[in-house]
Amino acid sequence: MAKVEDVVHITNNNAKAVAAAQCSAAVLFEVLRGTPIAQALLNALPLAGSILKPLLEEALAIPTLDSVAVAKRFGMACHVAEGLPIVFHIAQHASDYRVAVESNIRAGGDNCGRSIMLGAIVAAHKAKQDNVGCPVPLPWLARYRKFMAAADACAVL
């Protein structure tokens, strides 16, 4: 978490940004270790800090996937207090990668900023839990013109 904090301080020198990054990183680390996504989201809450934690808890308490309503409730701008609750809500409820991405797009606002963490969390979760090599829909990958070059670069990593 010290490395996460160091990286955040490059562009955001405030406690809320650090808490959001550490909380998000904790979710991703847990999911990569095989923890179910709902549990990983809950386990990360203590790192969210006093401002974000109640917002994330509220987002997780919403019982069904409704990214548009959640975005209206928390806000659609790029601030972490607006974006991270939407990420947590979608990640908790999305049945697969495609549903997560499309729900995030429908939410509007800074869906690009949210997609970075949301995509990583949901893709890692689906790959671990469903034992799929790549959770990204094949028709989406087929549209990428330099797919083979990207696949070769990933293989090298």
Burial of residue 65, with CB atoms counted within 10 A of its CB: 0-12 exposed, 13-18 middle, 19 or more buried: middle
Return left, alpha or beta for 5; rule: phi > 0 is left, psi -120 to 50 is alpha, else beta.
alpha
pLDDT confidence of residue 132: 64
Which CATH number is 2-156's, of 3.50.50.60, 1.10.260.40, 1.10.4080.10, 1.10.20.10?
A: 1.10.4080.10
Ordered by start, the domain boundaries in the chain are: 2-156
Residue range 90-124, pLDDT digits in tens:
999 998 889 999 999 999 998 988 999 999 999 89
**Average pLDDT for residues 123-136, to the nearest whole number?**
77
Label residue 136 by pLDDT band (50, 70, 90).
confident
pLDDT at 37 over 70: yes
Dihedral sign for Cα 141, 145, 150, 152, please. positive
Helix/strand/coil for 10: helix
- Pair of tokens at residue 128: 């671990």
Query: In whole angstroms, what is the distance from residue 106 CA to residue 103 CA?
Result: 5
**HSE (side-chain half, CA atoms, 13 Å) at 50:** 1
pLDDT tens digits along 56-93: 999 999 999 999 999 999 999 888 999 999 999 999 99
Other beta carbons within 10 Å of 70: 23
DSSP conformation class of 12: -
